[in-house]
Structure 1
Amino acid sequence: MFETIKEFFNPNGNPDLTKAHEFQRKNLPTLWLLGKTGAGKSSLIQAITNLSSVEVGNGFEPCTMTASKYDFPQERPIMRFMDTRGLGEADYNPKEDLDKLGDTCHALVIVMKVDEPEQSAVVNALKKIKKQKKIKKLLVVHTAVLTASEKERERQVAFNQQKIKDVWDENVESVIVDFEADDGSIYNYDLLIDKLASILPIINVMVEDKEHSAKESKNFDKLKNEVLWYCGSASTSDLFPGVGLVSVPAIQAKMLHSLANQYEVEWSMEVFSELIGTLGSSFALQYGIKHGARQLVKFVPVYGQTVGAVTAAALSFGSTYGLGRVACYYFYHKSRGEEISEQEMQDLYRDAMKKGKKASSYESD
């Protein structure tokens, strides 16, 4: 336990975590976008990432002959988009894409332009995905809905939606959007994000809020993706027996050290002690005991390699997000010489940890 605590204020003495970060990159929460060219897939990515069309267009990398992947953010990614670009083309054979993407994606989004009734390529691809029984989380996004009258829009949306329901053989969630509203906004943006977060929860955490109650929360949003990157590394490394016992505290230590530097706060034992002290006198002890117990559970045959490992990974994601959130709050006020409320720190940690645990649950079930 004392070695675990020591990791926090001696990050330079931690082991090399390159393998943990590499494993995370191979297992990112992944959203598969299925739709014809021009349906609005790139616009959907822009809406989630808040990037420009140029940034998104230049960020795609080939995955198969006709599919591409986009990692966001590219340097320290926390999620991945997969795009099948050949649908509707005469010489497109979806077999390679379907086989590969079905094994790596966690949720599927079908993007259908409202005035495009010819969707046979999408429907045929969906039939093959359904037979694979690998993807269970599905959302249909109907785009460019403001180009039609309300009555015509309802008819067209219902027509395309029924095609998907006939294949999926169950209730299919959908949302109507338009990425080019007259006022420059995205029509139905909030509902779109809510629907996407229901099939890939990390989206709810990573999307920047439109409004902020304080400058501190605005500042945290600038660092949120970095915190989530550390969360992903901690979570994926904690899927294996014994590994997380060393790697999770090391990853959290590096995160705290990095965040302190960005707020221009010198990272030291004194700062660490004060930060942990605001979370309650028993926090460090409970952290060490609970973390060690989670590792022991993973050694239990069958249970440990399934339920135990997944639970440990979710808790590591949540605790890392909680620590990152309160650390930013603490460093922000400390850098300004302001008083820090222990009650606010503790409440903020509990709320952030719950939010982080929910965001980690992206596996198809």
Structure 2
Amino acid sequence: MSSVWQRWRDKTPQSEREYQQQIDPLRAAAPVPVLWLFGKTGSGKSSVIHFLTGAEQATIGEGFRPETKASRRFDFPDSTDPLMTFLDTRGLGEAAYDPIEDIAAYSQTTQLMIVTVRVSDHALVDVLEPLRRIRRATPQRPVLLVLTCLHESTGAIDLSEGIDPFDAPPASEDPAAAEPLPPIPAELQTLIDRKSEQFAGLYDHLVPVDLTRLEDGFADPEFGGRRLRQAILQYLPHAYRQSMLSLASDAQQHRSKRQRRARWQILASSSLAATAGAVPVPWVDIPVVLAIQSHLAIRLGKIYEQELTASHWAALSSAAGSRIATRMALREVLKLIPWVGMAAGAASAFAFTYALGMSWDWYFASLHQGRAPSVDKLREIFADELQRGHELWKAE
């Protein structure tokens, strides 16, 4: 197997530009999800991004760059290997906004529009008028209406304490047997009903949320976040659904900035590998998947400030051992079976890349902390993470 991994290393793209040239056709076939955030300044757009990604507010602010005259773009975690892209329309309610340029730029490139509105905001003409024009231009694109800052209309009542009054019982559960939901405060319900009327015909799904800061003192600072994530997941490609689910799971664990950055990179590469793995022609995707995985190793090494020497490459390649060749051969044979092969290829590429990334993450973290990583332990971690990768792919 050493000769296989030697060829794998030798085919590593020599530059970011070369790597981008290799994967651009993949992104054209299955583009990274682009979410168009539409709302006035202070309506909660950054809070939505922070909740979905776990990125710090400062990182989000620094990550935006101009896209059109009125809008800006944020690739998460970066523009080289993004998991998702956010477009933010600025200036609504502050100056006349003409959506013509944005309609031309985003009509065919955005999968979902998220309109954020403070539930107690009544001055919405500057949002409604351009939104009507955008909706007419691309009626097939889903629109989520996200009502924010619910606490501004609930007085002393903390909606996030106890059962969520906006929760619907599971489809498999008898509504009559389900525990009754607490009432929604009358003033808040009136405001929600009013927003529903104002935006009638302009949205597909309404989601009330209250994404607050820890210091604000609410029982759940991410109130409604789970419902928002589930609504978004309905419209994402499968590979990126799994990445968002994993991001949500990872957010529950306390990690350093370096660890979070590494995991974002692993998920981005795994999602891209899944796209390559779905190519329904046997053996066509293997060089691309290997390029993605080798690029991942290089990026992880840089995150942990480790230079990849020949001995490091040898250790990294030992993580999977002969599993790689065996699984890849089986996966390519399965591709001869229509549809089944595509699913098997995508799942396998996602799980393998995820497992490799997580085991390499442990390896580089050990080196960074001055520990000598064991090859046996590296293989053990790979086996555990391979199972985890398959579980993530199957998760809903």
Q: TM-score range by the shorter chain?
A: 0.7 to 0.9
- Is contact 2:147–2:207 with CA below 8 Å preserved after alignment? yes
Q: Which residue of 2 aligns with 1:146?
A: 151
User: Is the Cα contact below 8 Å between 1:60 and 1:70 reproduced in 2?
Assistant: yes
- In 2, the alpha carbon distance for the partners of 1:21 and 1:205 equals 23
Residue equivalent to 1:363: none
Alignment match, 1:352: 389
Note if 1:203 corresponds to 2:244: yes
- 1:249 alignment partner in structure 2: 290
Over 3 Å counting, the alpha-carbon distance change for 1:67 and 1:35 in structure 2 is: same
Please give the alpha-carbon distance, in whole angstroms, between the structure 2 residues aligned to 1:296 and 1:273: 28
What's the secondary structure of 1:17's corresponding residue? helix
The correspondence of residues 40-51 of structure 1 with structure 2, limited to 5 A, is: 40-51=44-55
1:253-272 maps to which residues of 2 (within 5 A)?
253-259=294-300, 262=304, 268=311, 270-272=314-316
Query: Displacement, 1:181?
Result: 5.9
Whether contact under 8 Å (1:73, 1:225) holds in the other structure is yes
Aligned partner of 1:133 among 128, 139, 150: 139
1:312 and 1:118 map into 2 onto residues whose CA distance is 50
Aligned residues: 342
CA distance in 1, matches of 2:132, 2:345: 35
Percent identity, please.
24
Give 1:351's aligned amino acid: R
Q: Take 1:13 and 1:84, find their aligned partners in 2: how far apart are those partners?
A: 36
Q: How does 1:177-256 map to 2 (within 5 A)?
A: 177-180=210-213, 182-183=215-216, 187-189=220-222, 191-192=224-225, 195-196=228-229, 198-200=231-233, 201=241, 202-206=243-247, 208-212=250-254, 220-237=259-276, 244-256=285-297
- CA displacement at 1:253 relative to structure 2: 2.5
TM norm structure 2: 0.68
State how far apart, in whole Å, the 2-side matches of 1:158 and 1:2 are.
Answer: 65
1:252-293: CA deviations, max 9, x gaps?
12323554673858554642453114xxx6x22332214534
Q: Which residue of the partner structure matches residue 17 of structure 1?
A: 19
Code of the aligned partner of 1:223: A
Question: 2: CA distance between counterparts of 1:70 and 1:85?
Answer: 13
Deviation at 1:118, TM superposition (A): 3.3
TM-score where L is the length of structure 1: 0.73
Residue of 85, 96, 100 corresponding to 1:95: 100
8 Å contact 1:70–1:80 — kept in the other structure? yes
2:319 equivalent among 275, 279, 290: 275
Larger helix proportion of the pair: 1
Counterpart residue type for residue 100 of structure 2 = K
**C-alpha contact 2:38 2:114 (8 A) present in aligned 1:** yes
Match of 2:110 among 105, 113, 117: 105
Determine helix, strand or coil for the equivalent of 1:153: helix
Contact kept, 8 Å, 1:129 with 1:135, in 2: the verdict is no
Q: Residues 110-146 of structure 1: CA distance to partner in whole angstroms, max 9, x if unpaired?
A: 211121023344344444454423323x433222222
Segments of 5+ residues of structure 1 without an aligned counterpart are 298-302, 360-365
Per the alignment, residue 74 of structure 2 pairs with 70
Amino acid at match of 2:22: A
Task: Trace 1:317-328 onto structure 2 (pairs within 5 A).
Answer: 317-328=350-361
Alpha-carbon distance, 1:173 to partner = 4.3
Instruction: Give the direction of change, closer, same or farther, for the CA distance of 1:197–1:22 in structure 2 (3 Å limit).
Output: farther
- Residue 179 of structure 2: aligned partner: none
Give the Å deviation of 1:225.
1.5
Between 1:219-228 and 1:63-72, the stretch displaced more is 219-228
Q: Match of 2:329, as an amino acid?
A: I
Query: Greater relative contact order: 1 or 2 (C-alpha under 8 angstroms, separation 6 or more)?
Result: 1
Worse-superposed segment, 147-156 or 179-188: 179-188
Give the letter aligned to residue 271 of structure 1: A
